[in-house]
Amino acid sequence: MFTMNALVPELIVSDLQRSLQFYCSTAGFTLEYQRPEDKFAFLSFGQSQLMLEQDWHSDSPWRVEPLEQPFGRGLNLQILCDNAQDLADAFETAGYPLRRAVEAHWYRSNDRLNGQRNFLIQDPDGYLLRFSENLGMRNCQ
């Protein structure tokens, strides 16, 4: 049994099975439940959660027009992971190109620096994902 987070993004996808292959088989997300009649799936990855729904009818109240590829322009989803390099390697091995290679970055948060090793990849519909490994905190210099 899982607990639903207070904020769970729901992405409209063009092919639910293709997206499940990307998220579950390659990235390691867990399929918590699905409603095949609605072409819907609820996924989790560590403490992250995501809902996917196949775009199957143009009069859906959830669909905001126009829906053109790549989907999700102007949005990126940061997803915490245990090992960014291993996950990036798994994507590349499965034939998914990275948008930005694995890099370490230190982002200022007031008087501290938050370290992340992250990479960018687009899912099959073009949603931009930033998988991020926590490198800890340190003082600004």
42: domain CATH number is 3.10.180.10
Number of domains the chain is built from: 1
Inside any domain, residue 116: yes
Picking from 23, 25, 75, 62, the residue whose alpha carbon sits closest to that of residue 44 is 23
Tell me what pLDDT residue 44 has: 97
Task: Tell whether 67 is covered by a domain.
Answer: no
Tell whether 132 is covered by a domain. yes
114 within a domain of the structure (yes/no): yes
Q: What is the pLDDT of residue 55?
A: 87
User: Radius of gyration (Cα) for the chain, nearest Å?
Assistant: 16
Give the Å distances, CA to CA, from 84 to 15, 109, 120, 136: 26, 21, 10, 14
Residues of the chain with pLDDT under 50: none
pLDDT, residue 138, reads 92
In a domain, 65, yes or no: no
Beta-carbon neighbour count of residue 72 at 10 Å?
A: 18
Give pTM, 2 decimals. 0.89
Structural domain that includes position 26:
10-56+75-139
Q: Does residue 63 sit within a domain?
A: no
Question: Quick one: pLDDT at residue 71?
Answer: 87
Residue with tokens 């729904």: 53
Using CA of residue 48, residue 128, residue 65, residue 15, what is the dihedral sign? negative
5 within a domain of the structure (yes/no): no
| Beta-strand runs (E) in 48-97 | 48-54, 76-80
Pick from 105, 100, 102: which is nearest to 136 by CA? 105
Between the alpha carbon of residue 11 and those of residues 19, 40, 60, 121, 128, the distances in Å are 10, 10, 13, 16, 11
